[in-house]
Amino acid sequence: MFSFVKANAKPEFPVIKTLPTTASTEYKIGDALILSGGGLVKATGTTKPEYIAVANYSAPATGMEPLPAYLIAPGMEWETTFAADATAVTEGTKVTIHTDGAQVTATATSGVAQILKKHGTGAVGTKVTVMF
């Protein structure tokens, strides 16, 4: 789960937008998202997220409701956890987003989340502060 830490520029707090959802998709608070094909989908791997989900929502096959989401702006810092052992990954490295859209990996190839601070050794589950 990505949670807002702080912004180093204006706006100081994330702006909340209400955006269309994608049919039969499960959203959880803190999921990294992009707007694609007319609805929100999880940002994973090398896809740089544009939004962070603000609510839990299970979108039905039809009649989907919009989802509130934080708009990611330059200079915003987000806290999450490592989904893989990142003990060898150093601060400043850009890593990819895990397949769950809620954590980062230890993969630096084509990374999109820059590690600002590791809050521990980097073992699986260690908290980390990132910037997109």
Residue 16, in any domain of the structure: yes
pTM of the model: 0.95
Residue 2, in any domain of the structure: no
Residue 85, in any domain of the structure: no
Q: What is the pLDDT of residue 120?
A: 96
Residue 107, in any domain of the structure: no
Give the long-range contacts of residues 115-119, CB within 8 A, separation 24 or more: 115/86, 115/89, 115/90, 115/91, 116/77, 116/91, 117/91, 118/86, 118/89, 118/91
Residue 84, in any domain of the structure: no
Residue 111, in any domain of the structure: no
Residue 34, in any domain of the structure: yes
Q: What is the pLDDT of residues 7-66, one digit of tens each?
A: 998 778 899 999 999 999 999 999 999 999 999 999 999 999 999 999 999 999 999 999
DSSP-derived letter for residue 45 is B
Which domain covers residue 56, as residue numbers?
A: 9-71
DSSP-derived letter for residue 97 is B
Domain total for the chain?
1
